[in-house]
């Protein structure tokens, strides 16, 4: 008996995991980078103001040369409400306090909410301004009109 898996309409097992494999259309050098699904079926970098569809579970680097590649299959994590994840910060980020809402920023990063846009979640740690790096967040994806 299979208790924690769903059966697909074709009789096969559907992956119920919160991470799924996609072809990644952009070269991505760090795990946690936010990505979006495009009409080619590929995941690409999510930029400021765009809706994120997931985050990279790893990078797209070649395991021998360490060069980030395009159009390679990799795991993408789902943005599940309430989950704790680590994502990259915009290099010139604003000062962030615990509980601040974080929105999508350029290159698959996040920054403190500043106007309308897609909120990814809330900061679980404080970060000084213009430090970049990474931040731990609690996922709470939604669109904010202002």
Distance CA 64, CA 118 (A): 36
* pLDDT given for residue 4 in this prediction: 47
* Better pLDDT: 33 or 11: 33
* Residue 10 within any structural domain of the chain: yes
DSSP string, the chain: ---S-EEPTTSSEE--SSEEEEEE-S---STT-EEEE-TTS-EEE--TTSPP-EEESS--B-TTT--B-SSEEEEEE---TT-EEEEEBPTTPPPB-TT-EEEEEGGGEEEE--SSEEEEEEESS-B-TT--SEEEEEEEEEEE--
CATH number of the structural domain spanning residue 52: 2.40.300.10
* Residue 131 within any structural domain of the chain: yes
* Residue 34 within any structural domain of the chain: yes
pLDDT tens digit string along 83-141?
A: 999 999 999 999 999 999 999 999 999 999 999 999 999 999 999 999 999 999 999 99
The domain in which residue 98 lies consists of 6-144
* pLDDT given for residue 24 in this prediction: 98
* Residue 39 within any structural domain of the chain: yes
> What is the pTM for the complete model shown?
0.88
* Residue 1 within any structural domain of the chain: no
Grade residue 16 by pLDDT with cuts at 50, 70 and 90.
low
> Domain tally for the chain?
1
């Amino acid at each position: 008996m299979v208790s924690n898996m769903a059966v697909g309409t074709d009789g096969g097992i559907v992956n119920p995991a919160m991470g799924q494999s996609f072809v990644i259309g952009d070269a991505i050098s760090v795990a946690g980078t936010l990505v979006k699904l495009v009409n080619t079926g590929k995941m690409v970098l999510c930029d400021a103001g765009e809706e994120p569809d997931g985050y990279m579970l790893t990078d797209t680097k070649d395991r021998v040369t360490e060069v980030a590649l395009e159009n390679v299959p990799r795991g993408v994590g789902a943005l599940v409400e309430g989950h704790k994840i680590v994502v990259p910060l915009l290099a010139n980020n604003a000062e962030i306090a615990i509980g601040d809402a974080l929105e999508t920023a350029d290159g698959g990063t996040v920054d403190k909410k500043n106007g309308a846009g897609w909120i990814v979640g809330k900061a679980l740690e404080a970060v000084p301004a213009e430090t970049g790096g990474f931040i731990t967040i609690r996922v709470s994806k939604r669109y904010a009109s202002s």
